[in-house]
Structure 1
Amino acid sequence: MTIGRKWWRTFGQQVLLVILTFAMLYPLLWMVAGSFKSNATIFTTAHSLIPNQLNFENYTIGWKGFAGISFGTFFYNSFIITLAATIGSVVSSTIIAFGFARIKFTGKKLWFVCMMITMMLPFEIIMIPQYIMFNWFGWINTYWPLILPTFFGAPFFIFLIMQFIRTIPQEIDEAAKIDGCSRFMIFSRIIVPLVVPAMMTCAIFSFYWRWDDFMGPLLYLNKPQLYPVSMGLKMFSDPDSVTNWSALFAMSTLSIIPVFVIFFMFQRYIVEGISTSGLKG
């Protein structure tokens, strides 16, 4: 009797998980299904996830882009911005985190509090001052406003990596100093290899956030040939004419592939990086 109850309980839990999973994935599945439907039937058959006919030409039409600018250009621009910003944020955050975790300096606690406070500032507060500053630099219609700030560290990444570094015994640093290692050698040869899980976790988050960023390119980029994928998708929607929803969904489906690939390749680092970083405060 106990075994039967346990079986039914497990079965009920599995069914509930399947239903919740389907409910969460339904919008994504609906978008993928819509990418194979014709523009005329995409909403008339919205209740069905199975297209009556597979229209692969939606991907061809969407890939052609606009005004002679193919969607490949938008993907190329997104990869440039995302990779550069990810490298900048992870490298700079690791260096700053090492300073907070291992180096004693005047005002350390004050600067750390100031850094944490910046995490509470909404983007809307700093949006206008940043735009005025970058416009004064002459960086409008360039990628510098989207890339350069990441080379000064990201507070969330700094905190995450710093907590990870604190789990590493300081005796390792002392032993390295006895062997003649400088502070830079300790950082590059000891700390960095040990904090790779936290760095990879930050890289995954940064890649996703930068790839999905819409407000930044909308503010600083006015030339279509510089647009990333997020702005390229917006160009499909035209309130003054007929929107090609099928092509929009087709390119939206392609745009999520890099994020899925990165996540499934490095997902083990997310659990390891976040769980280990919280072991010691």
Structure 2
Amino acid sequence: MTEVTVRDDAPSATNSPTSGSGPVSPENGDGATGPRERAKPTYWRSRTRSVLKHLGLILFGLIMLYPLLWMISSSFKPNDLIFREPGLIPSEFTTGNYTEGWNALLHPFSHYLMNSAIIVLGSLLGNLVACSMAAYAFARLQFRGRNLWFAIMLMSIMLPIHVIIVPQYILFSELQWINTFLPLIVPKLLATDAFFIFLMVQFFRGIPTELDEAARLDGCGHGRIYLRIMLPLSLPALATTAIFTFIWTWNDFFSQLIFLTRPEMYTVPIALRTYIDATAESSWGSLFAMSIVSLLPIFLVFLFGQKYLVKGIATTGIK
């Protein structure tokens, strides 16, 4: 009969970690904690960083919004309390600034809103049509000197308006366009905004050329390819162009001040400037009230077009 020898250093059943006779310690032999114990400090550390980051963003956002909130609050204060009470909550609440500011100038404020709307609509039409056609030519057509003309177009972005405003004024004065909306609308119809051309060129280049080739096999020319294929697929870029054109044209002060000198031709930015008088008392309450009115169209356009704006800037083609 064979004898079985039992070693003294063999682990016994009672000392086995898999035995159910006693609880398992969270610490191993060298004193290290288990994975669950290690995960708790990491979780709370990440949560603390996230809370601090969001608090910092909220504080930074409130700092940026404070001037706008102060202007809204000041539009409901009497003139003599606007600069004496820097707080946001007015001690005296009045809506007279809106009624007074609406009729304070030579014409009702709706007249200046209409003037700005005419210029904005003309600029929108010009940029959407002319810039998209120029972008299609640079992106899809092959012609002599294309790269040279594209480089010249990009160089025009670096020209400040103060360099070309004097030659433009002389030209438009010879054409007898001063105190009309033509100097502010007609250049848009000639694709003078190189930024929007470059934006659409990058977007058009992201659209597969196989779509153009398939359309040519069906007998389409460049006109139908542009209208039926490129424009429907370029809605984000077109929306971005429309939103930026609206904001920049609506807020434009310098060009409109140069070409529009008669009070009946004033736009919103020039009309707001007339509320401030350097020699007499300025109507700050009316100015702030009409400034809020002038900001509403920009706010609504950005609110409803934000999705297309982000998509048009972030993408350079189709999915």
Identify the TM-score tier after normalising by the shorter chain: over 0.9
d(CA) in 2 for partners of 1:272, 1:241: 48
Match in the other structure for 1:18: 58
Q: Does 1:236 align with 2:275?
A: yes
d(CA) in 1 for partners of 2:203, 2:210: 16
Match in the other structure for 2:137: 99
Partner-residue secondary structure (3-state), 1:131: helix
For the pair shown, which has the larger CA radius of gyration, 1 or 2?
2
Q: How well do the aligned residues superpose, as a CA RMSD in angstroms?
A: 1.0
Q: Is the 8 A contact 2:100 2:286 kept in 1?
A: yes
Q: Is the 8 A contact 2:73 2:88 kept in 1?
A: yes
Aligned counterpart in structure 2 of residue 56 of structure 1, from 95, 99, 108: 95
| Residue 53 of structure 1, CA deviation | 2.3
Aligned counterpart in structure 2 of residue 195 of structure 1, from 199, 221, 234: 234
Match in the other structure for 1:132: 170
Q: Which has the higher helix share?
A: 1
d(CA) in 1 for partners of 2:127, 2:180: 19
Q: 1:168 to 1:211 in 2, by over 3 A?
A: same
What is the count of residue pairs matched by the alignment? Answer: 277
- Listed one character per residue, the Cα deviations across residues 171-228 of structure 1 (whole Å, up to 9, x for unaligned) are 1000000011111000000000000110100110000000000011110111111111
d(CA) in 1 for partners of 2:250, 2:91: 32
Identity %: 43
Q: Is the 8 A contact 2:268 2:294 kept in 1?
A: yes
What residue identity is the alignment partner of 1:110? L
d(CA) in 2 for partners of 1:262, 1:160: 20
Match in the other structure for 2:262: 223
Comparing both chains, which one has the higher relative contact order based on Cα–Cα distances under 8 Å and sequence gaps of 6 or more? Answer: 1
| Residue 30 of structure 1, CA deviation | 1.0
Q: Does 1:71 align with 2:109?
A: yes
| Residue 278 of structure 1, CA deviation | 7.8
Partner-residue secondary structure (3-state), 1:277: coil
Match in the other structure for 1:256: 295
Q: Does 1:89 align with 2:127?
A: yes
Bigger shift: residues 225-234 or 269-278: 269-278
Match in the other structure for 1:36: 76
Name the TM-score, length of structure 2 as normaliser: 0.85
Q: 1:168 to 1:278 in 2, by over 3 A?
A: closer
Match in the other structure for 1:207: 246
Q: Does 1:163 align with 2:216?
A: no
What residue identity is the alignment partner of 1:73? H
d(CA) in 2 for partners of 1:80, 1:109: 36
Partner-residue secondary structure (3-state), 1:37: coil
- Listed one character per residue, the Cα deviations across residues 92-112 of structure 1 (whole Å, up to 9, x for unaligned) are 100000000000001101100
| Residue 245 of structure 1, CA deviation | 0.3
d(CA) in 2 for partners of 1:228, 1:160: 28
d(CA) in 2 for partners of 1:5, 1:52: 44
Partner-residue secondary structure (3-state), 1:24: helix
Q: After the TM superposition, which segments of 4 or more aligned residues of structure 1 sit over 3 Å from their partners?
A: none
Partner-residue secondary structure (3-state), 2:52: helix
Q: Does 1:7 align with 2:7?
A: no
Partner-residue secondary structure (3-state), 1:119: helix
d(CA) in 2 for partners of 1:202, 1:218: 24
| Residue 65 of structure 1, CA deviation | 3.1
Name structure 2 gaps, 5 residues minimum.
1-40
What residue identity is the alignment partner of 2:218? D
What residue identity is the alignment partner of 1:126? I
- Listed one character per residue, the Cα deviations across residues 219-249 of structure 1 (whole Å, up to 9, x for unaligned) are 0111111111000000100111100100000
| Residue 277 of structure 1, CA deviation | 2.2
d(CA) in 1 for partners of 2:304, 2:181: 28
| Residue 26 of structure 1, CA deviation | 1.0
What residue identity is the alignment partner of 1:9? R
d(CA) in 2 for partners of 1:215, 1:55: 33
Name structure 1 gaps, 5 residues minimum.
none
d(CA) in 2 for partners of 1:183, 1:202: 22
